[in-house]
Amino acid sequence: MSADTRLEEQGVSGLGEVDEPAFSGLAERHRRELHVHCYQMLGSFEDTEDTVQETFLRAWRRRETFEGRSTFRAWLYRIATNACLDLLAKCRPEPATDGEVLWLQPYPDRLLDELPAGDADEPETVAVARETIELAYLVAVQHLAPRPRAVLILHDVLGWPAKDVAELLGDSVNSVNSALQRARARMREHLPAERQDWTGGEEDAGTRELVRRYTDASVATDVDGLAALLREDVRCSMPPTPGLYVGRDTVVNDWVESGFEGTKNLRALPTSVNRQPAVAFYQWRKREGAYLPLTIDVLRVTGGAITEIVTFHDDQFPRLGLPERLEADGTE
């Protein structure tokens, strides 16, 4: 039986005798799920990258403290959660009162595809996995204080029993249950009451058609056409640029005032981010002789209308695996 099998299945000790390459092999098996966990805690992809590296460094330095009382995976989650809490204690600003999270960054679907399958056949598991990576959920989570945030994610997202969460955080079970109740109540203030009202699961034909119409109207800078696709209470933001616009009229007025109608020579690529439909826009640059990245809109669709648009800048294109340029098509 291999060392990693013994550690995973039997929870035995012995990391003190594992060399660095072997230890790295054990840890790397869990990189993607730890990465998603830290992202849910932090909301920032860049902070997540740094925190996962810090997690692996701490784990290597403290390998002799692993006593086999838990699985190696749970031990890594303990270290990762504490690394997130340490970062949040040092440098995380409070979200704006209007709900902005200026440090929010998108998560590539291609990396989510690397997650272990787990119990993917269970419908409830699939729904929870999808909804807890959507931007609306992540924004709501960022309004929780760090420790209640950790409690909520460990218990409601990962499915840890309250006893295990309490052990990880050094709290009592009663304290964890109390924090969980407060966190859930706070989340209800920032998310629709019914889950089916804010997450549509897999894209259906109607959603795909709506995204196509949104793409065409955007490329044509057709403000009226875009307005027709928005729900009355639509929300728009563009982190890290301050400004949250709520309501169709407010959003449309902002587009008009910002000169959107004068935007020329756009092309678009449909994609998906955080398990949501998205559209990457490119603009023709004569000097470079190509279409270069402009912005990417991540959409939330509810009941056949667009209920949220989160726009990210062109610096996110490489991370999302999008082309760095589109060549001329002869119509420029």
Cα Rg of the chain (Å, integer): 22
pLDDT value at residue 332: 64
pLDDT value at residue 70: 81
| Residue 104 structural domain | 3-197
**Which of 197, 220, 238 finishes a domain?**
197
**Which of 197, 225, 241 finishes a domain?**
197
Place of tokens 């019914």: 194
**Which of 148, 175, 197 finishes a domain?**
197
> Based on the domain organization, do 29 and 69 belong to the same domain?
yes
**Tell me, what CATH number does 179's domain have?**
1.10.1740.10
> Based on the domain organization, do 157 and 273 belong to the same domain?
no
Cβ atoms of 267 and 279 closer than 8 Å: no
> Based on the domain organization, do 164 and 250 belong to the same domain?
no
Whether pLDDT at 239 is above 70: yes
In a domain, 190, yes or no: yes
Mean pLDDT of the chain: 88
pLDDT value at residue 193: 57
pLDDT value at residue 69: 78
The band of 43, judged by pLDDT with boundaries at 50, 70 and 90, is: very high
Cβ atoms of 155 and 171 closer than 8 Å: no
pTM: 0.90
> Based on the domain organization, do 33 and 124 belong to the same domain?
yes
pLDDT value at residue 14: 62
SS3 of residue 134 by DSSP: coil
Tokens for 125, please give them.
Answer: 């598991």
The band of 48, judged by pLDDT with boundaries at 50, 70 and 90, is: very high
d(CA 306, CA 321) in angstroms, rounded, equals: 25
Give the tens place of pLDDT for each residue, 247-262.
Answer: 999 999 999 999 888 8
> Based on the domain organization, do 192 and 283 belong to the same domain?
no
pLDDT value at residue 39: 97
> Based on the domain organization, do 35 and 77 belong to the same domain?
yes
Give the tens place of pLDDT for each residue, 3-34.
Answer: 444 454 444 456 767 788 888 888 999 999 99
> Based on the domain organization, do 132 and 20 belong to the same domain?
yes
> Based on the domain organization, do 23 and 164 belong to the same domain?
yes
> Based on the domain organization, do 145 and 257 belong to the same domain?
no
> Based on the domain organization, do 160 and 262 belong to the same domain?
no
**Tell me, what CATH number does 247's domain have?**
3.10.450.50
In a domain, 95, yes or no: yes
In a domain, 126, yes or no: yes
Lowest mean pLDDT among 83-92, 192-201, 317-326: 192-201
In a domain, 41, yes or no: yes
> Based on the domain organization, do 180 and 214 belong to the same domain?
no
pLDDT value at residue 192: 64
> Based on the domain organization, do 168 and 232 belong to the same domain?
no
Place of tokens 């809109």: 297
Residue type at 296? I
Q: Measured on CA atoms in the order 99, 93, 81, 52, is the torsion positive or negative?
A: positive
Whether pLDDT at 119 is above 70: no
In a domain, 332, yes or no: no
Domain count, the chain: 2
pLDDT value at residue 30: 94
